[in-house]
Amino acid sequence: MKSTKASLKSIASYIPTKILSNFDLEKMVQTSNEWILRRTGIEQRHIADNDENTSDLGTKAAIKAIQRANLNPQDIDAIIVATLSPDYFTMPSTACKIAHNLGLKNITAFDISAACSGFIYLLELAKSMVESGMKKNILIIGAEKISSIMDYTDRSICVLFGDGAGAGVVSLDDNFPIIDTHTASDGEFGDLLMTQRAQKSNICTPLSMQMKGNEVFKIAVNTLSSDVVEILTKNNIKSEEIDLFIPHQANLRIIKAVQEKLNFTDKQCVVTVQKYGNTSAASIPMAMNDAYEQGLLKQGSLILLDAFGGGFTWGSALLRFGGENDK
Ligand code: UT7
């Protein structure tokens, strides 16, 4: 019988090679390895080369994700990219660039803007498009070159973020369904985490990010925790039944606070923030890929994803991972 439920059939990532350590940052702004480690848990982040665009990072992750789903690029009928650091502001979209890099013409390709919650929004969107029969195999990509919109003289934010990309393919497969997704927003808090206004005047303004970190922190912990409780309760699943809890990787203290509130064990909780910093829309698929390559994320694993970011936006997803283990 034909499947009717959407499934995440693969996961992959691409991480740029260049590393920016806390010690490198000590030479750039008034900060210290000790402060960054204690307040965020971050040890290093990866930074793309000057000539490496967000679409290049996304393309490399996408090629692997398509292979791992046992598909050819020609099987993909839509590409959706979540990014807050696109190649161009605001067109052509990063998705169109990636489609071109993959040699694909005449397919649906567009970007979404949901900041760090981007990958959850992508899952929700792809699930509905695949289950409605509109599309067969959707490539979803979170890709960020945040270094391109970062002010490396602002210590309050430049120590937090890094570059990278993560991708997956969503197709029908009842055996390993995306069980539920939840997305939400509250524009009231838009100015706590933002880039500069695009329509300030008719002159082009730089896009660097700004954040009132302390205020974001408190709202993030409460929102993430209640979001997790809501999706678990709605689906009648207890936290101990979850194989892996894979939250957005912004700050180790946020992850630990949510983990403790929800009683997830260290074994259940995937943490990569120490290696990559916050890579916004790429952070969840990059963390998933790490778990996959370490053999922790397996076909059929019950996983819970949870994210919070600028907008504010937030969301969670509950799914059985549908990807086969690498041969
Ligand atoms: O991904 C989207 C969601 N984003 C987040 O969830 C991020 C949420 N926020 C955070 O992770 C934390 O608020 C930060 C890591 C950004 C900041 O940590 P904090 O513990 O909230 O520090 P703070 O902003 O309250 O600043 C404490 C002190 C201040 O000095 P005074 O006023 O106490 O003298 C800051 O000026 O730390 C100072 N400070 C720094 N010192 C060394 C701020 N940034 C730095 C720095 N190095 N990089």
- Give the mean pLDDT per block of 10 residues along the chain (327 residues): 95 98 97 98 98 97 98 98 93 97 97 97 98 98 96 95 98 98 93 75 66 90 91 96 98 95 96 98 98 97 97 96 86
In a domain, 284, yes or no: yes
Reported as half-sphere exposure (CB side, CA atoms, 13 A), residue 199 has a value of 0
Q: Is 117 in the pocket of ligand 1 (CB under 6 A)?
A: no
CA 279 vs CA 82, 143, 179: distances in Å: 12, 8, 26
Query: Would you state the pLDDT for residue 200?
Result: 57
Query: Would you state the pLDDT for residue 199?
Result: 62
Residues 84 and 109 in one domain: yes
Query: Would you state the pLDDT for residue 160?
Result: 97
Q: Is 308 in the pocket of ligand 1 (CB under 6 A)?
A: yes
Residues 159 and 184 in one domain: no
Residues 222 and 306 in one domain: yes
Q: Is 164 in the pocket of ligand 1 (CB under 6 A)?
A: no
Cα 54 from Cα 86, distance rounded (Å) = 6
Indicate the number of domains in the chain: 2
Amino acid at 237: I
In a domain, 97, yes or no: yes
In a domain, 325, yes or no: no
For the record, the structure tokens of 133 come out as: 């029969």
In a domain, 107, yes or no: yes
In a domain, 269, yes or no: yes
Query: Would you state the pLDDT for residue 205?
Result: 56
Residue 152 sits in which domain range?
Answer: 6-174
Query: Would you state the pLDDT for residue 196?
Result: 76
Q: What is the CATH number of the domain that holds 277?
A: 3.40.47.10
Instruction: Strands of the chain (E only): list them.
Output: 6-8, 12-14, 19-21, 44-46, 78-82, 108-112, 138-144, 164-172, 178-185, 193-194, 210-211, 244-247, 302-309, 313-320
Query: Would you state the pLDDT for residue 195?
Result: 84
Residues 193 and 102 in one domain: no
Residues 238 and 138 in one domain: no
CA 219 vs CA 15, 38, 45, 56, 277: distances in Å: 29, 20, 25, 33, 20
Query: Would you state the pLDDT for residue 42?
Result: 98
Q: Token match 């912004």: residue?
A: 250
The CA 190 to ligand 1 mean position distance, Å, reads 18
In a domain, 327, yes or no: no
In a domain, 326, yes or no: no
Determine the residue of 211, 214, 280 to mutate for testing ligand 1's pocket, defined as the one with the most ligand atoms within 8 A of the Cβ atom. 214
Residues 19 and 85 in one domain: yes
Cα 99 from Cα 76, distance rounded (Å) = 9
Looking at the CA of residue 158, tell me the nearest atom of ligand 1: 48
In a domain, 83, yes or no: yes
